[in-house]
Chain A
Amino acid sequence: MDIKVRVWRQAGPADQGRMVTYDVKGISPDASFLEMIDVLNETLILNGDDPIAFDHDCREGICGMCSMVINGVAHGPEKATTTCQLHMRHFSDGDVIDVEPWRARAFPVIKDLVVDRSAFDKIIQAGGYISVPTGTAPDAHATPVPKKDADAAFEAATCIACGACVAACPNGSSMLFTAAKITHLGLMPQGQPERDSRVIDMLQAQDDAGFGGCTNMGECAEVCPKGIPLSLIGRLNSDYRKAIAKH
């Protein structure tokens, strides 16, 4: 396949950035989107140009590191797919493809397609855990968890923190990410003692990090590569109201 890519190039946080067009020739339809950029980068290097910087690691759709907006959609056109698992066969010969970084106030661009997502870690630091120092745990069977709850908690826990939800949200809100963690921990008996403080503190941290407010647009759930449903945000809001009422 021969395609054209228009890629966001930005040398550093202070640089203004611009779209630059590149021709990529003879790409296998079996190549992943990131492999297509690998091939392009090899050419750029040999031509003495600066290769495109982008984040990636496991290339199996689970580490959550890859982060590109492709033709205006976070992680590209395929539903429930990370960029590393998106393959060129979903594009056509001769296509022109736009590639941009996540864009959100809380995710400043570091270089080209690389952005800083450490704000997510700050939200977790504020309460996205169960306080249990090593070695103090009771036997695993001491607390039964209904299968229904365990399965629902697992579904929420599949969030890979890639940040697509934030990139897709017109407000740059991280509500879906936070809701996934609130739901995961809030559905288990182990998570109950800190349930109220968790939701209050995590929402505060979210605001402090510069994420926008949630106005229920639903764009986040549309692009989520793990299919985290929008309904979890409702759960978060309900937890928050209850917690505030008590405190």
Chain B
Amino acid sequence: MAETEFWTEGDPIADQAAPDGPVETRWERRRFSAKLVNPANRRKLTVIIVGTGLAGGSAAATLAEAGYHVKSYCFQDSPRRAHSIAAQGGINAAKNYRNDGDSIYRLFYDTVKGGDFRARESNVYRLAQVSVNIIDQCVAQGVPFAREYGGLLDNRSFGGTQVSRTFYARGQTGQQLLLGAYQAMERQIGLGNIEMHTRHEMLELIVADGKARGIVVRDLVTGEITTEFADAVVLASGGYGNVFFLSTNAKGSNVTATWRAHRKGALFANPCYTQIHPTCIPESGSHQSKLTLMSESLRNDGRVWVPKAQNDKRAPGDIPEDERDYYLERIYPSFGNLVPRDIASRAAKNVCDEGRGVGPGGLGVYLDFADAIRRLGRKAVEAKYGNLFEMYQRITGEDPYEVPMRIYPAVHYTMGGLWVDYDLQSTIPGLFVIGEANFSDHGANRLGASALMQGLADGYFVLPNTINNYLAAGPFPKLDETHEAVVAARKQVEDRLARFLSINGDRTVDSFHRELGHIMWEYCGMERTEEGLTKAIGLIRALKEEFWTRVKVPGKGAELNQNLERAGRVADFFELAELMCIDALHRRESCGGHFRGESQTPDGEALRHDDEFSYVAAWEYATAEGGKPTLHKEALEFEYVHPSTRSYK
């Protein structure tokens, strides 16, 4: 097998749980073939769930309703704060309520294609099937989706699709869906079926006798370290976009739970798959802690442009029409401003790289509503986008009714994560991974309104069906504090925390995180090259070494210590960052948002190489100090949707 400076290639892997036969019947047959646990036995089984977002919250509620004993953990002060709450746009479902030719098959087709043929057909088909039940479930819970005057549900279309299949609750779909799951969870907490631990963070996975059997957690208020046991562990801990420091993720979002599991043997798949969202408010200064997304729906009426001339510092209103470049409309006449996220993001980067960007630092393009205001009137624009305009004004201090908004791409969602099979089980038996924490079913380039769908599909419908098959072999032998795996996991946590506190250097955790983020954005962001990635790996290794000698973490372990929390997360980001660069380096193709400079068509579009890279890249942790990660490939086969070139010209 191949070996390079940075990685070793190991044996290929396959999804052993995947059923075959006609795609339409695979999920039904898998559910039938999976073992069941009888209701009286369920109460003897305990499941730990880490994370309480759409995936974790819905899974916790559903498993508790089924009769399992659930122990749930989140680092926030309430499960309702999980970052799913910030999703704005909507959730897709193949309901065909608009009679516009939508179907499960079409949602499946669009998603496989929109994912640039880097997702599994079986999983995507199941996602499309289950999408229909998600809407029913949420409506029954009282989620106040937008309605029409007849009382039926309203829909809109979203990012790159030709049908109206997106259900929404104004610009707060994520919050409303999460509240549905949270309330279902709180009901089970009240009934005593879920043991909820807020302000707790998982710091290690316990793998005993080859199975995931528990976690080591830190109480973030007292600093107490405890070990928690279960018959199965579910990670629903979200994505890792914060490796870039600046992203649209909540400040607390981190990779620690999945990274700890990776170090214990779970493969990490497609780590370099990052979705860059084109419509964020640009960075304003070095004080900045995060980026804010403006809903993609703005591109329905806003026109994107930059000056034709380089370094044109005139106010936008002083630039005459014929000196403006409406570049999306020019390059992609048929999709115009509505091209998919990856295309719009890269086009913005290109014009800024040419020196035609606007705003401070030249990293921004205009999103202009002047035409829409002229055409529809200010009132109509206000009714449609008023809350977004207000948010923009609040953050930038500029009035978007008077001057065009400035936008720039930002890191939004991560599509890599722990590798799971069709049952959502990782390579560690008994460890299940759901939602953004697994390597997702969207492939390389997610369409809009898919993430909420996947989170809830996994949590409400898929996991609660597949985990039984594993739990049917339980309860597993009782574990206690004295088991060597438990002692070792606990010691790892304690040593690590002690080490952070003992370094007492001269740089803050945040200063390292910010510097790491710059490296990642520069070399592993929207466009990557072999040269840049190789350089980045060197920079990351050097910075990591500096981190472990110069970081200063104040305070003690046995108290609420937010810098200690952050130090642990940033330490994991360093290791993940290196793997992301290695993954990006090995994938010598452009695919969705993952643009390799060396792989483009003569007119600068992304060039995929299906013959070489039609696989999931699943990485095994290098256990030896200074060792190389091992790449295991899972071949992807497309029986129904045949790979073709995406074109938006």
Check if A and B associate: yes
List A residues at the B interface (Cβ < 8 Å): 12, 27-32, 34-36, 38-39, 42, 45-46, 48-51, 53, 55-65, 81, 85, 87, 89, 110-111, 114, 116-118, 120-121, 124-126, 128-141, 143-147, 150-151, 153-154, 157-158, 160-161, 184-185, 188, 190-191
Contact A35 B146 (CB under 8 A): no
Contact B250 A63 (CB under 8 A): yes
**A191 to B144 alpha-carbon distance, docked (Å):** 11
**A56 to B79 alpha-carbon distance, docked (Å):** 14
Contact A129 B563 (CB under 8 A): no
Q: Does B158 sit within 8 A of A, measured CB to CB?
A: no
Q: Can you list 7 A-B contacts (CB < 8 A)?
A: A46-B552, A48-B554, A53-B562, A59-B251, A138-B140, A188-B142, A190-B141
Contact B140 A56 (CB under 8 A): no
Contact B559 A12 (CB under 8 A): yes
Name the contact of A57 in the complex, choosing from B81, B97, B145 (C-beta under 8 A).
Answer: B81
Please give, as numbers and ranges, the residues of chain B lying within 8 Å of A34 by CB-CB distance: 289
Chain A proximity of B429: nearest CB distance (Å): 25
Name the contact of B394 in the complex, choosing from A35, A48, A87 (C-beta under 8 A).
Answer: A87
Can you add 18 more A-B contacts, CB < 8 Å, to A45-B508, A65-B81, A157-B169? A45-B552, A51-B554, A51-B562, A53-B562, A57-B83, A57-B250, A58-B81, A59-B289, A63-B83, A63-B250, A87-B395, A116-B77, A129-B187, A130-B140, A137-B140, A141-B153, A160-B175, A190-B140
Please give, as numbers and ranges, the residues of chain A lying within 8 Å of B503 by CB-CB distance: none
B 144-179 binary contact with A (CB < 8 Å = 1; else 0): 111111111100000000000000011010111001
Residue in chain A with minimal CB distance to B148: A147
Q: Does B397 sit within 8 A of A, measured CB to CB?
A: yes
**With known contacts A64-B81, A141-B152, A150–B144 Cβ distance under 8 A:** yes
Q: Does B95 sit within 8 A of A, measured CB to CB?
A: yes
Contact A154 B169 (CB under 8 A): yes
Please give, as numbers and ranges, the residues of chain A lying within 8 Å of B221 by CB-CB distance: 110
Contact A134 B170 (CB under 8 A): no
Residue in chain B with minimal CB distance to A31: B287
B 232-256 binary contact with A (CB < 8 Å = 1; else 0): 0000000000000000101110000
List B residues at the A interface (Cβ < 8 Å): 58, 61-62, 65, 76-81, 83, 85-86, 95, 97, 133, 135-142, 144-153, 169-170, 172, 174-176, 179, 182-184, 186-187, 189-190, 196, 198, 221, 248, 250-252, 284-285, 287-290, 292-293, 391, 394-397, 460-461, 464, 506, 508, 510-511, 552, 554-555, 559-560, 562-563
Contact A130 B141 (CB under 8 A): yes
**With known contacts A63-B83, A129-B187, A131-B187, A89–B397 Cβ distance under 8 A:** yes
The CB with the most chain B CB atoms within 10 A, among A27, A34, A56, A57, is that of A57
Interface of A is mostly: loop
**With known contacts A42-B511, A57-B252, A87-B397, A158–B78 Cβ distance under 8 A:** no
**A55 to B394 alpha-carbon distance, docked (Å):** 21
Contact B83 A147 (CB under 8 A): no
Contact A144 B289 (CB under 8 A): no
Please give, as numbers and ranges, the residues of chain B lying within 8 Å of A29 by CB-CB distance: 397
**With known contacts A125-B186, A125-B189, A137-B139, A144–B152 Cβ distance under 8 A:** yes
Please give, as numbers and ranges, the residues of chain A lying within 8 Å of B293 by CB-CB distance: 60
Chain B proximity of A125: nearest CB distance (Å): 4
**With known contacts A30-B397, A128-B183, A140–B153 Cβ distance under 8 A:** yes
**A185 to B139 alpha-carbon distance, docked (Å):** 11
**With known contacts A57-B250, A134-B65, A147-B147, A121–B186 Cβ distance under 8 A:** yes
